[in-house]
Amino acid sequence: MKIPSALLAALLLTMSAHSVAPQAHVVKPWSAATYHGLTVGTSTRTDVLKLLGKPNYIGREEDTGTPMMTYLVVDPMPGTLVVYVKKGILDGMRLDLKRALTKDDIIRFFGTDYVVVHYAADDCLDDGGSAPIYQNPSGPFKYMEYHDRGLAAAFANDDNQKVNAIIFTFKAIGPSHSLCAGRSRKR
């Protein structure tokens, strides 16, 4: 029995398409965020003061004690920019938005190359109201992460469509697993 060459070509193409294993979604490594000439993980406290000027507030983060400064900004969106400095180096920034944005607003502004990651609190490390977070597919804290830009959009805890903060970082928001395995809850 002879198979017409066009039919044979179509059959071979179909078979080869099914024999190739599907590509797994590749998660890009984190790059350092930049903001007005500052690079998270590299710029110094002196660089921050030189480029952003005198802050509205200088103090320590309430839950962690990390040194911080705040600035009222309008770029890239209006809000309060909280700048965290550890050991003299810019460790990260969080832009608390003046007005919540939607997921679609974030996509229009930063693009479609993001991954959605959920986090949960590592309760065994709770220290009187705050606990670090870790990646957990069923966790209540949801972020749109732009790894190649060092950015993450934080959704409001009570609304899966409203973004209330933009995080500028150079690393994952939290580890890929809980540090509580085998530990009891901290009292």
Tens of pLDDT along 38-77? 999 999 999 999 999 999 999 998 877 889 999 999 999 9
Q: What is the pLDDT of residue 128?
A: 61
Nearest to 115 by CA among 105, 106, 126, 125: 106
Domain count, the chain: 1
Residue 95's domain comprises: 31-168
* 101: in domain: yes
Tell me whether residue 88 is in a domain. Answer: yes
Q: Is the pLDDT of residue 7 over 60?
A: no
pLDDT in tens, 147-167: 999 999 999 876 678 999 999
Could you give the C-alpha distances from 28 to 107, 114, 143, 150, 172, in angstroms and in order? 18, 10, 15, 11, 11
Q: Is residue 8 part of a domain?
A: no
Residue 130: pLDDT band (50, 70, 90) is confident
Q: Quick check: is 21 in a domain?
A: no
The answer to whether the beta carbons of residues 120 and 140 sit under 8 Å apart is yes
Q: Determine if the pTM surpasses 0.75.
A: yes
Would you call 181 helix, strand, or coil by DSSP? coil
DSSP 46: H
Question: For residue 17, is pLDDT > 70?
Answer: no
